[in-house]
Amino acid sequence: SACSSRFVLSQMHPMWQEPLEVPGGDRQSPIDISIRKSVFDPNLKPLVTRYDPRTCQQIWNNGYSFLVEYDDRTDKSTLHGGPLEDQFRLCQFHFHWGENNNWGSEHTVDRHLYPAELHLVHWNSDKYSLFEEAVMEDNGLAVIGVFMKVGRRHEGLQKLVDALPAVRHKDSVVEFTKFDPSCLLPQNTNEYWTYAGSLTTPPLTEAVTWIIMKQPIEVSHDQLAVFRSLLFTSAEEEVQKSMVNNFRVQQSLKDRTIRSSFN
Ligand code: SG4
Ligand code: ZN
């Protein structure tokens, strides 16, 4: 069910990013968001998320990040509005983070690095019937990015953090239910940047409308420390590697405009 894209990751290694390039790719992600160069678009609408916690199924350590997966067989957890013309279905969310609090996010704002970034991955269920189809199309996916900064403990995130020790190793999966992902959105979802980009891991397809929240959420150092206690490696491997720095290097903006929903 949820995304059913496991095939993609079986070929993946934390260090894949160095040699892998997309020939002729002109809308790759992630990028730096320059506030000065972004363009206010008054036509951008408020985002509308309708998430049903009953579609939450499991947590999976896929050897690159951990994914909270949702049942995406029907339109129960959806996203529309914002820059989007179609309805998109939530299939999973995951995070990227650093080995310390000085870096970890994939996107940056005026070169400012956040310690972590949440990605809520949705696919276009108006135009496509499966994630696998949508991932190959230029209007196939919409990903909401939320920056995380260190501060107070995040109560909503804690339920997830408590479950992480059970998926410490690569390939481990545990049941995880009734989690409402809207608790991980910032208070103000009306202020965001949007641009046309790609997945940040293989297959790196240029399928993604990125929606990056301006307001970060606060999480505690201890909560991020639990992320860093996860492993890239499976239980069988002799040398265990901490799951940290699981972000892609930044890509050039090229001929793109970043639009903002706020002035
Ligand atoms: C993470 O590696 C997820 O584990 C992947 O999830 C995800 O791939 C990948 O990031 C890229 O997503 O929002 N950062 S991103 O562009 O969603 C996909 C799975 O492969 C295809 C299920
Ligand atoms: Zn991601």
Judged against a pLDDT cut of 70, whether residue 1 lies above it is answered with no
For residues 57-78, average pLDDT = 98
pTM (2 decimals)?
A: 0.94
User: Is the pLDDT assigned to residue 16 strictly greater than 90?
Assistant: no
Kindly tell me if the per-residue pLDDT of 10 is higher than 50.
Answer: no
Q: Is 78 in the pocket of ligand 1 (CB under 6 A)?
A: no
Query: Is residue 206 within 8 Å of 185, Cβ to Cβ?
Result: no
pLDDT at residue 7 greater than cutoff 50: no
Residue 20: predicted pLDDT: 58
Q: Does residue 170's CB lie within 6 angstroms of at least one atom of ligand 1?
A: no
pLDDT score of 21: 66
pLDDT bracket for residue 64 (50, 70, 90):
very high
Atom of ligand 1 nearest to the CA of 29: 16
- The residue that leads in pLDDT, 258 or 8, is 258
Residue 4 pLDDT more than 90?
no
* Closest atom, ligand 1, to C-alpha of 145: 13
High-pLDDT (> 70) share of the chain, %: 91
Q: Where would I find the beta strands (DSSP E) of the chain? A: 32-33, 39-40, 47-50, 56-61, 66-70, 78-81, 88-97, 108-109, 116-124, 141-150, 173-175, 192-197, 208-213, 217-219, 259-260
Q: Output the average pLDDT for the chain.
A: 93
Q: Give the pLDDT confidence score for residue 146 in this predicted structure.
A: 99
Instruction: Answer yes or no: are the C-beta atoms of 60 and 93 closer than 8 Å.
Output: no
**pLDDT for residue 17 is more than 70:** no
Q: What is the mean pLDDT of residues 23-35?
A: 92
Per-residue pLDDT tens over the stretch 142-201: 999 999 999 999 999 999 999 999 999 999 999 999 999 999 999 999 999 999 999 999
Q: Which ligand is closest to the CA of 205, given by its number?
A: 1
Checking if the pLDDT of 8 tops 50, the result is no
Ligand 1 atom 4: residue of nearest CA: 65
Residue 18, pLDDT score: 47
pLDDT at 23: 67
Q: Retrieve residue 142's tokens.
A: 């919409």
**pLDDT at res. 91:** 98
Q: Do 176 and 163 meet the contact criterion of CB atoms below 8 Å apart?
A: yes
Whether residue 95 is predicted with pLDDT greater than 90 in this model: the reply is yes
Strand partners, 97: 116
pLDDT of residue 12: 42
This model of the complex carries an ipTM of 0.95
For residue 121, give the ligand 1 atom closest to its CA.
13
Predicted confidence (pLDDT) at residue 132 exceeds the cutoff of 80: yes
Q: Which residues surround ligand 2, an ion (CB under 5 A)?
A: 119
**For residues 163 and 172, is the Cβ–Cβ distance under 8 A?**
no
Of 12, 89, 94, the residue with max ligand 1 atoms within 8 A of its CB, to mutate for a pocket test, comes to 94
Given a cut of 70, whether residue 88 has pLDDT beyond it is: yes
Q: How many CB atoms lie within 10 A of CB 258?
A: 21
> For ligand 1, is residue 200 a contact (CB within 6 Å)?
yes
